[in-house]
Chains A and B, each alone.
Chain A
Amino acid sequence: MRINTTLDDHRVAKLAALAIGLHLLESIMPSPLPGVKPGIANIVTLFVLYRFDFATAAWVSLLRVFATSLLLGNFLSPTFALSLCGAMMSLGMLGLTQFLPRQYFGPVSLSILAAFAHMIGQLMLVRLWLIPHAGLAYLVPLFMAAALLFGLINGIVTSHLLAAYPKPAD
């Protein structure tokens, strides 16, 4: 039995592998504030969203979450839950951004919005399940600031990549 794969399938597979690779790379880097990471794998998600479609981007994103947690050995752990929660929230937000006029709102907007959604989802999970007390409130502004910063950077990088690697003409 042979599964017929298209060129696009190959491209998506390579990108998914890239996303996983970036996530793994990031996980071994120390972070200045616990719980805060640049989230560079999200660049791939966003790139895929623009090059292909939402369904593909969702697929790449969730595959990355599951694969990396299996590879890092924290499948079904709180870390995995946070990762999944963040991914679902940002995907949900990206789904909503289809209503934004693309001539005015580029990858930067999508990235910032997705980053905020990601952070909010994670903060809610932490507050409701992991650390249920008020001390968290003090950290909220810091985490959201990080989300804005990295959302912006990732968005700019994505837009440069989109320009540097135009859609193949096949």
Chain B
Amino acid sequence: MRIFAFIVAILLASCGREPLVQTQSYVFGTLVDISIYGESEAKAHQVTAQVLQNFQQLHRQLHAWKETSELSQLNQSFAAGNQPIKVTPELSKMLSQATQLSIQSDGLFNPALGHLINVWGFQRDEFTPVQINDADIQKWVKAQPVMSDIVIKNEMVYSTNPAVRLDLGGYAKGYALDQAAKILREQGVKNALVNIGGNIIALGAHGDKPWRVGIQHPRSAKPMATLELSDGWAVGTSGDYQNGQRYCHILDPRSGYPAQGTQAVTVLIPPSENAGVMSDVASKPIFISAENAKAEAAKKMHVAFYLIVNAQGKVTVSEEMNRRLNWLIKTPEIKVLRD
């Protein structure tokens, strides 16, 4: 009898409670999930509130179509002419970084194409279908707005091409992740997991286990694999879906039309000051590139760990990524790319 009670006690203890505080919130028009491990509830809530406040502020600053945002005001001045306007040091830094990444991706990542995004109706809060005018599309593609058209001198910014309209949609979430990591570390939080709309960065570990992230299958609600994220690692996915519904809004700057042929690209980024940004940005050029050019695109973005699901559902992974994935489903066929 005592042995029995003893065994039951052991088993019950192993299902014990851990000091994890998890908060969900809606910012950036998406779901933000912050988990903090190993801190008192009071501290966890206080730091989370700080991070969320920072997100709200970034959202206001970088909103691509609300006219009151700093970004919109900058766009208005670009469209009007060459009068330089002053920007905050933070935005100036973001622009420089975005420019460098745009060049690195051979222009496939192009935040200056706000006008094209607008033509497709992606810059609104609703997602109703819109009449696509090919002439409009071609107009903006021909105008070739690029990040290098933007000149930054002493925090005064102007554009040499009035067709430039900034939309940092493919960059902002990543930037926010890096900011969150910074705030958490500054506040002495050593173990946390931040998820902004699916983009995740990890700090420390989940107690004595590493943080585990589920990788969603593009066509199902259940995850197809899990990845362990160690301190500072980030993961991001570009897909043609959102919550299981088709919604392709990643435009190919060369054609002006949504990129075809790929269901999803997931990238895993090692720790660095910009791990968050890279987890957001780096997947896009790979997504847009043709099937036989994807490996090359990954190399250009210095991404060693990636997973691609093509339009037929076939999975291709880099060898490095394959070593880290724990598959939850039986994939029909995985092609492993060896460098």
Contact = CB atoms under 8 A, between A and B. Distances in A.
Whether the complex brings A and B within 8 Å at their CB atoms is answered yes
Interface of A: 145, 148-149
5 contacts: A145-B4, A145-B8, A148-B4, A149-B1, A149-B4
A75 B8 CA distance: 36
Interface in B48-65: none
A118 to B, nearest CB: 19
Contacts of A149: 1, 4
Nearest to B8: A145
Contacts of B8: 145
Give chain A's interface secondary structure class: helix
Contacts of B4: 145, 148-149
Nearest to A153: B1
Nearest to B11: A141
Contacts of A148: 4
A145 B7 CA distance: 11
A145 B4 CA distance: 9
A149 B8 CA distance: 12
A148 B5 CA distance: 12
A29 B8 CA distance: 25
A137 to B, nearest CB: 15
B304 to A, nearest CB: 41
Contacts of A145: 4, 8
A75 to B, nearest CB: 36
A14 to B, nearest CB: 32
B41 to A, nearest CB: 28
List the 5 closest pairs (A to B, CB-CB), nearest first.
Answer: A149-B4, A145-B8, A145-B4, A148-B4, A149-B1
Interface in B1-50: 1, 4, 8
A135 B98 CA distance: 50
A149 B1 CA distance: 8
A70 to B, nearest CB: 36
B237 to A, nearest CB: 30
Contacts of B1: 149
A118 B123 CA distance: 64
A145 B5 CA distance: 10
A126 B4 CA distance: 26
A149 B4 CA distance: 9
A148 B8 CA distance: 13
A151 to B, nearest CB: 12
B153 to A, nearest CB: 64
Nearest to A148: B4
Nearest to B4: A149
A68 to B, nearest CB: 29
B242 to A, nearest CB: 29
